[in-house]
Each structure stands twice: as structure tokens, then as C-alpha cells.
Amino acid sequence: MMSVGRVEDIETLQHQASVLSARAAALTRTYRRTTWVRFVLVFFPVPFTVLLLRFHLEGWHYIVAGGAYMVFSATLYAIDSAAARKCDAAVHAAESAEKACKDAASA
């Protein structure tokens, strides 16, 4: 027979697992919702500006535009990678909490 303290511990673990799962789901939804914005920001501003101004640009402008594109893309890639790591960490924490809850319930 399980003691009252052990049942409360299992209930606490279940609550933590559900909270972490909800947080991971929310972070994942937010990440998926904002990723397309970052994707558009990588491929739209600099190339579109070059396209609009192509008849007025000198040769060195293309070098500047290429450098700006590389810096802009690298920055947005770093931002996206950080957001993806944050989502992965939240999902891993939720999975760990669920596993701990199952282990405690089966013991």
C-alpha cells in the first residue's frame, strides 16, 4: 500500500509534467507561428531592394547588398537557432518529467 506522502509526490510530479508539457506545446506553437516571418525576412528585404533598384545600382552596390544579405541572413539564422534550442529544451524537460512520473507510479 502506498503512503499518503508518496501519492502526493506522484500527484506533484504529474502536475509538473502537465505544466511542462503545456509550456512546451505553447513554445512550439509560437516558434512555428513566427518561423515563417524570419524566413520571409531572410529572402525578401535585400533581394527585393536590389530588384527594384537594379537599373540604378553601380557595381559596388551589389557587393554591399551581398554583404548585407549575408549579415542579415546570419543574424536571423542565429535568432531562429536560439528559438529552436529553447523549444527543444522545453520538450526535453516535459519528456523527462513524464518519464519521472511514470517511473514513480510504477515503483
Residue 1's pLDDT band (cuts 50, 70, 90): very low
Amino acid at 76: L
Q: Where are the domains of the chain?
A: 4-106
Q: What is the mean pLDDT of residues 97-103?
A: 86
Q: Mind giving me the DSSP string for 48-95?
A: HHHHHTTTT--HHHHHHHHHHHHHHHHHHHHHHHHHHHHHHHHHHHHH
| Minimum mean pLDDT range among 33-37, 43-47, 62-66 | 43-47
> Which position has the higher pLDDT, 90 or 46?
90
pLDDT of residue 66 exceeding 60: yes
Q: What is the mean pLDDT of residues 5-25?
A: 84
Max CA distance (Å), the chain? 83
Q: What is the mean pLDDT of residues 8-32?
A: 89
